[in-house]
Amino acid sequence: MSRSFPVAFVFAALLFAPLAAAVAEDAPPAAGDVPKETPKTQEPAIGWSLRNVDPEQQQRMLRFSTFTNRGIPEAYLKAENDVGYTVHAIAEGGPLYWAHCQKCHGDTGLGNGDLAYALTPSPALLAYMVQQPIAVDQYLLWSISEGGKQFGTAMPAFKDTLSEEQIWQIVAYLRAGFPDIEAAPAKKGGAAKTDEPDLD
């Protein structure tokens, strides 16, 4: 009896140790571990490589690879989005998107605009991309401003066509989920801020 107890105890410890570790990993962070501010940019993921990506997808992934290995260029890294996600910014961004982006990226950012099928690689799926952690505002500003020439894509650079304010308005429209601008647009997760003061 005394011999079987240690064996059973060791067996139970070995059996339940991975379960305990898994539960500990899923536990919420301790109060001291929670960041006080949301970071504006992501730290580059060290060592990410295109070597394991299908050759046909490598060209599409060059901007992502550049971002994860080198970060956002300094000129865009410190840019501040002073436009925000107001109803006014979204309403201004909608027509800009339709005039400059919709033909390739499609009505709702699914990469299915009229010109999309003639492009290799095909246009980015903006509706999906803007929901990813990589798509911080500065990344979107960089992508729209510089275009895709340096990455071998047909995305034009808009830094000489649109002002930075107009690009931020397009970002607001993307983040709002490509709304019908005749409807009252709202940022996901809550009511949209208005530019007008509350006079009630």
pLDDT in tens, 162-195: 999 999 999 999 999 999 876 434 434 344 444 4
Domains of the chain: 4-33 (no CATH), 71-175 (1.10.760.10)
Could you please report the per-residue DSSP string of 116-173? Answer: GGG-SSPPP-HHHHTTSTT--HHHHHHHHHH-SGGGT--PPP-TTTS-HHHHHHHHHH
The DSSP letter of residue 83 is S
Residue 174: phi and psi, rounded to 5, are -60, -45
Rounded CA-CA distance 89/96 in Å is 11
pLDDT tens by residue, 102-156 = 999 999 999 999 999 999 888 999 999 899 888 899 999 999 999 989 888 899 9
Q: What is the pTM for the complete model shown?
A: 0.64
Coil vs helix vs strand at 94:
helix
